[in-house]
Structure 1
Amino acid sequence: MLPASEAGEWVVLGRVSGIYGVRGMVKVFSFTESRDSILDYSPWYLGPDRRPWVLEDGRMQGEGVVAKLAQVEDREQARALIGQEIAVIRADLPELGAGEFYWSTLTGLRVLNREGIVLGTVSAFLETGANDVMVIDDGKGGELLIPWSAEASAGVDLPAGQIVVDWQADW
């Protein structure tokens, strides 16, 4: 295990969602923009203890991703990993251009509209096909869904921990 203090910030790229075959391969639900991009990283750090697992092989299988981890030899070992988050160290991710952000960087930021009304905090993002959507926790037990756009990304202020959007509080 690599302690968080040595590793820096963790970024979750997916989770183990099932088993595949009899030789210890796992099915992976990937959060990366291109599903198989998760295979570009090794080691994967699994579970709450962030134990490192070396990626031996992987590929697209139909609509999903399957992977072989070096330490996993059979179905039962693979089955024990189901539900585990797959994380990498943020420093291992590629640098982004201006105006580009990893969703994990934006999650937890406060969201305000142009009038300065706090709408809530970013709790997640959804990929819908047409455009991505920010899921905003309004702090009152509800949520708002706000399209993520170039205008929204222009309102990101990481030092202030906030995003300004063109969105009315009563929409």
Structure 2
Amino acid sequence: MIIISIKKPIAPLLIGKVGKAYGILGWMTIFSFTEEKEKIFNYQPWFFFKKKWLKVQLNKWKKHNKNFIIHIKGISNRSEARELTNSDIIINKDVLPVLKKNEYYWNDIINYKVFNLNQIYLGRVINLIRTKHNDILIVENSLKTLKKNIFIPFIDKKIIKNINTNYKFITVQWN
């Protein structure tokens, strides 16, 4: 396998995952974590991480079923592609478009503190889930007696009252 570079990203951001090898010519399946799946190809260069960092150069890609298949420059057979199975696809965060004031990316609000309207601390954001009807904010419960996470529907203005990007907190209408 040809390694283009062994540099790692300065501000790593996970945007996808490499699946299994596809065919005998070095193609592989990938899974995009971007909101619009095809936008994964707008963010270059890619770094693969699986025990070590590899900076890769995308040669070709095609839509295949509900995902994509890709060919990386320097990968010429199934065995080489198989070595990259389960690698994370990472980019430098600085390749994302610059946002306007008070806009944010989902990964930016991970670890934000969450308070209800009575200023009671509920916990910190540990993840977000996309569902068919609305997104879900997953908050690690601050109460040690209740070990379950809090799932708060991400409904702007109704439940999510304020996201303060300066002080990194979210105010919600929640008990």
CA RMSD of aligned residues (A): 1.9
> Which residue of the partner structure matches residue 28 of structure 2?
26
Distance 1:17 1:59, change over 3 A: same
Q: Report if aligned partners of 1:99, 1:153 keep a CA contact under 8 Å in 2.
A: no
Give 2:148's match in structure 1, choosing from 138, 142, 150: 142
Give 1:164's match in structure 2, choosing from 135, 155, 171: 171
Q: Which amino acid aligns with 1:10?
A: P
1:82 maps onto 2:85 in alignment: yes
TM-score (norm 2): 0.84
Structure 1: stretches of 5+ with no match in the other structure: none
Q: Report if aligned partners of 1:99, 1:154 keep a CA contact under 8 Å in 2.
A: no
1:155 maps onto 2:155 in alignment: no
Deviations 1:84-114 (A, max 9, x none): 1111111101123444321111112111111
Q: Which amino acid aligns with 2:156?
A: A
Structure 2 CA distance, aligned partners of 1:123 and 1:64? 26
Aligned length: 165
> Which residue of the partner structure matches residue 105 of structure 2?
102
Asked which structure has the greater CA Rg, the reply is 2
Structure 2 CA distance, aligned partners of 1:57 and 1:35? 16
SS of the residue aligned with 1:72? coil
Deviation beyond 4 Å, 4+ runs, structure 1: none
Superposed displacement of residue 17, structure 1: 2.1
Deviations 1:95-144 (A, max 9, x none): 23444321111112111111112221111111112121111121543211
Q: Report if aligned partners of 2:102, 2:165 keep a CA contact under 8 Å in 1.
A: no
> Which residue of the partner structure matches residue 40 of structure 1?
42
Structure 1 CA distance, aligned partners of 2:67 and 2:19? 10
Structure 2 CA distance, aligned partners of 1:55 and 1:136? 36
> Which residue of the partner structure matches residue 63 of structure 1?
66
> Which residue of the partner structure matches residue 7 of structure 2?
2
Deviates more, 1:94-103 or 1:52-61: 94-103
Q: Which amino acid aligns with 1:147?
A: P
Distance 1:130 1:82, change over 3 A: same
Q: Which amino acid aligns with 2:30?
A: V
Superposed displacement of residue 154, structure 1: 5.4
Q: Report if aligned partners of 2:160, 2:173 keep a CA contact under 8 Å in 1.
A: no
More helix as a share of residues: 1
Q: Report if aligned partners of 1:18, 1:27 keep a CA contact under 8 Å in 2.
A: yes
Superposed displacement of residue 44, structure 1: 0.7
1:92 maps onto 2:95 in alignment: yes
Q: Report if aligned partners of 2:12, 2:90 keep a CA contact under 8 Å in 1.
A: yes
TM-score (norm 1): 0.86
